[in-house]
Structure 1
Amino acid sequence: MNQFRTSALLIHGVAWLLFMSFPLLFMSQGGEQTLGIQTLQFSWKYLLFCLVYMFIFYFNTWFLFPRLYITKKYISYGFSVLLLLLLVLLVQPFDRLLGHSKQPKHKQPPPMERPVMEHPSMEHRQPPPEGKHDHQAPPMDKGNFHFDIISLFIFLMVVGLGMALRSIREWQLTEKRAILAEAERANAELSFLKAQINPHFLYNTLNNIYTLSITGHPAAAESIMKLSNIMRYVTDQAESDYVPLQEELDCIGNFIDLQRLRLGKTVTLNYTVEGISAGHIISPLILMTFIENVFKYGLSNHENTQITINIKIEADKILFHTQNRIFEKRQQQQRKSVGISNTKQRLNALYPGKHVLILKSQEDVFTVDLMISS
């Protein structure tokens, strides 16, 4: 990382040195101009020329473009660039710089010869007043506004180059986030297969289904179908970046229904879903990590416990809440933290700036509150 920053600083330094030598090309013609080049480095006009375009480049590249253009505030961005353009047209940095070495020299007009008197009527003609001659004098510079086309060209070049560089950087960051999300999703799938759909879960579920089958319970066939749906969702849909929210809710519902088969009278389970899921999407298995932890660490064969799982769907966000007592062994704490850590990384990669995750552990109660913006 440090090597990359050093290379970037070196590239910027070389680029600005080349840019600062650009005005010398317009001042290297003639011996009188050479003298101006020697004193140019100490001129405030040269400093103004450099600072104006440095300010425009970095202000546009690091502030205006990412905060306005990237966020699709095109009108605000265009207005801001227009203000910068007006600043350049008013300051006229290039014309001011040229004026440093091109000072006009006033020459006395050549003496006028007395006209030859060829006509008798011209003998008594009075000479014109001093300073007035028959030829037309050159127009005087009255300080009228001059359009600095070179400054405009440099402005467009600096702004365009800044937009191009920033666009490339944003594209690289997007690619990096996509690669990171893919890696984290693969880790999450593996973690889910090892934790949620682990042999113990399968063993307990199949054992319960077997008991239902022996007793002829009508829920046996339905339980087999729910287990099949969970396995299909994990192996197929988990490969996608996003899935319809209803598919995630179906998987959660099937998982909870299968867990109910082994819950005793000491466990009180409150599971609610509020709102309409149509039109919402979510990254698969995001919520399942927390729900799996509820049943993995929040159950006891000897003590009464209560489990709360609530999912509330609003127009622009999804609210997820779980609460359970903690009955965990020390050797299980590390595995739990790894699963939650993987989920945090996935949330950061898939929902940057669009989620809030709050984990609370007070005494023997663990609470999860997650908000995901649609």
Structure 2
Amino acid sequence: MHKNDHYKTIGRHLLFWIAYIFYIAIDEGGRHRDSWRFVLPISTLTDLPVAVIVVYVNLYLLMPVYYKSQRYIQYTFWLFALLLFGGLAGRFFSWWLWLPRERYLDPTSMEPKEFWIWIRIVKDSFTNLPVLTVTLVLQLMRDSSQREKRLREVEKERFTAEMNLLKAQINPHFFFNTLNSLYSLTLPVSKKASDVVVRLSDLMRYMLYDATAIKVLLKDEIIHLENYIAIEHMRFTDRLDLSFQHSGDMDGKMVSPLLLLPFIENAFKHGIGNSSGWITIDLQVIRNQLFLKVENSYTPSIPNKGGGLGLYNVKRRLDLIYPNAYLLNIEQTNETFAVELKISL
């Protein structure tokens, strides 16, 4: 979270609790009379911390764990348990602090003889229900607003990418026809050259047509990666030690197109200099988790020709498409460069 956003969040929370205290004071002041007196009961010193605990346990523990994962039965159970905790805490402070104080100030006052009066505890439990409901609704509205904002940003990014792609397309049919003609010419001469042409044709077809979708099959994305890796491997075959492995259940798994390519492209761009080098690529799918690890040899003397921009752009895409659903770790030493990516598909 940006530092300014963090301060704004703190400010919103403080304003809410100030408004809550103001509401308690008005409610208490006008309980027995038609007036606008502001009376803050002494029990607010303990009732407010209990309400704060109840609200934030719900917002930052129960909702992320149960509500957002659509485990509504468990969420309802723990929500009532949380309200009961608030009632018990309120009853505890009332029994040990405020009732003895009231008896001291007014010896004739009547007070209950037992702590475990369940009707009283249940009533105390539901005193936190209004503030819990209000904060729950506000949080859901905020989450909905953030989702809509992310969707608009994703659509904007997609529109920009499509416009850039259209600008780069100079009659794709002519391009593919030219590649087919080139393939016919190279086939009798060199099998390797014809293989490069076929893979390049598949690569361009995927980027021009299939990659415009929001999500593509992970299997198709891996085929695209294989074509790219094969072309690059042919360029550096005499001085590159390359390993590419993928495993796991990929049936029906979807992923944002061209999301993994920048990490692999970066390994080829900056891992192979004028001397030999090595690259290892390992892609695994475990349940609904995608794991990608790319490691390559690193030579500090190789000039950086803008590779950082590609990684910045892919981080931006990850933030937009997989918010709070990915982990990215990049490590660089004097000899190696490693990227580890985990995505919840």
TM-score by length of 1: 0.65
Out of 67, 81, 84, the residue aligned to residue 83 of structure 1 is 81
Does residue 340 (structure 1) correspond to residue 345 (structure 2)? The answer is no
Higher mean C-alpha displacement, 217-226 vs 286-295? 217-226
SS at match of 2:306: helix
Does residue 324 (structure 1) correspond to residue 296 (structure 2)? The answer is yes
Q: CA deviation at 1:340?
A: 1.5
| CA distance 1:360–1:193, shift in 2 (3 Å) | farther
SS at match of 2:238: coil
Q: Which amino acid letter does the alignment assign opposite residue 263 of structure 2?
A: F
Q: CA deviation at 1:22?
A: 0.9
Higher mean C-alpha displacement, 347-356 vs 179-188? 179-188
| CA distance 1:184–1:26, shift in 2 (3 Å) | same
- 1:170-185 correspondence to structure 2 within 5 Å: 170-182=143-155
| Cα distance in 2, alignment partners of residues 83 and 215 from structure 1 | 73
Are 2:242 and 2:278, in contact at CA under 8 Å, matched by a contact in 1?
A: yes
Q: Which amino acid letter does the alignment assign opposite residue 279 of structure 2?
A: I
| Cα distance in 1, alignment partners of residues 270 and 209 from structure 2 | 27
Does residue 19 (structure 1) correspond to residue 17 (structure 2)? The answer is no
What is the root-mean-square deviation of aligned Cα atoms in Å? 4.7
| CA distance 1:276–1:265, shift in 2 (3 Å) | same
| Cα distance in 2, alignment partners of residues 306 and 47 from structure 1 | 65
Q: CA deviation at 1:335?
A: 0.9
User: Which residue matches 1:44?
Assistant: 42
User: Which residue matches 2:328?
Assistant: 357
| CA distance 1:270–1:66, shift in 2 (3 Å) | closer
Are 2:329 and 2:339, in contact at CA under 8 Å, matched by a contact in 1?
A: yes
Figure out how many residues of one structure are paired with residues of the other and give that number.
322
User: Which residue matches 2:140?
Assistant: 167
| Cα distance in 1, alignment partners of residues 152 and 108 from structure 2 | 66
Are 2:280 and 2:296, in contact at CA under 8 Å, matched by a contact in 1?
A: yes
SS at match of 2:235: coil
Q: CA deviation at 1:336?
A: 0.8
Q: CA deviation at 1:17?
A: 0.3
Are 2:211 and 2:257, in contact at CA under 8 Å, matched by a contact in 1?
A: yes
User: Which residue matches 2:63?
Assistant: 65
Q: CA deviation at 1:213?
A: 2.0
Higher mean C-alpha displacement, 19-28 vs 210-219? 210-219
| Cα distance in 2, alignment partners of residues 296 and 166 from structure 1 | 45
Are 1:325 and 1:366, in contact at CA under 8 Å, matched by a contact in 2?
A: yes
| CA distance 1:73–1:314, shift in 2 (3 Å) | closer
| CA distance 1:141–1:246, shift in 2 (3 Å) | closer
Are 2:289 and 2:342, in contact at CA under 8 Å, matched by a contact in 1?
A: yes
Are 2:87 and 2:123, in contact at CA under 8 Å, matched by a contact in 1?
A: no
Does residue 252 (structure 1) correspond to residue 228 (structure 2)? The answer is no
| Cα distance in 2, alignment partners of residues 57 and 314 from structure 1 | 35
Q: CA deviation at 1:243?
A: 1.6
Give the greater-gyration-radius structure (CA): 1
User: Which residue matches 1:241?
Assistant: 214
Deviation per CA, 1:325-359: give whole Å up to 9, x if none: 346876x5251112112223333443445444333
TM-score by length of 2: 0.69
- 1:132-143 correspondence to structure 2 within 5 Å: none
Higher mean C-alpha displacement, 163-172 vs 150-159? 150-159
Q: CA deviation at 1:291?
A: 1.9
Does residue 306 (structure 1) correspond to residue 278 (structure 2)? The answer is yes
SS at match of 1:26: coil
Q: CA deviation at 1:191?
A: 9.4
Q: CA deviation at 1:288?
A: 0.8
Q: CA deviation at 1:290?
A: 1.8
Q: CA deviation at 1:164?
A: 0.6
Are 1:187 and 1:342, in contact at CA under 8 Å, matched by a contact in 2?
A: no
Identity of aligned residues (%): 25
Question: Which consecutive residues of structure 2, in runs of 5 or more, have no partner in the other structure?
Answer: 170-174
Does residue 291 (structure 1) correspond to residue 264 (structure 2)? The answer is yes
Are 2:66 and 2:75, in contact at CA under 8 Å, matched by a contact in 1?
A: yes
Are 2:83 and 2:126, in contact at CA under 8 Å, matched by a contact in 1?
A: no
| CA distance 1:83–1:232, shift in 2 (3 Å) | same
- 1:126-165 correspondence to structure 2 within 5 Å: 147=119, 154-165=127-138
| CA distance 1:173–1:22, shift in 2 (3 Å) | same
Are 1:180 and 1:349, in contact at CA under 8 Å, matched by a contact in 2?
A: yes
| Cα distance in 2, alignment partners of residues 52 and 168 from structure 1 | 24
Q: CA deviation at 1:244?
A: 1.0
Q: CA deviation at 1:230?
A: 1.9
- 1:255-294 correspondence to structure 2 within 5 Å: 255-294=228-267
| CA distance 1:17–1:54, shift in 2 (3 Å) | farther
Structure showing greater relative contact order (alpha-carbon pairs closer than 8 Å, 6 or more residues apart) = 1
User: Which residue matches 1:134?
Assistant: none
Out of 342, 362, 366, the residue aligned to residue 337 of structure 2 is 366
SS at match of 1:272: strand
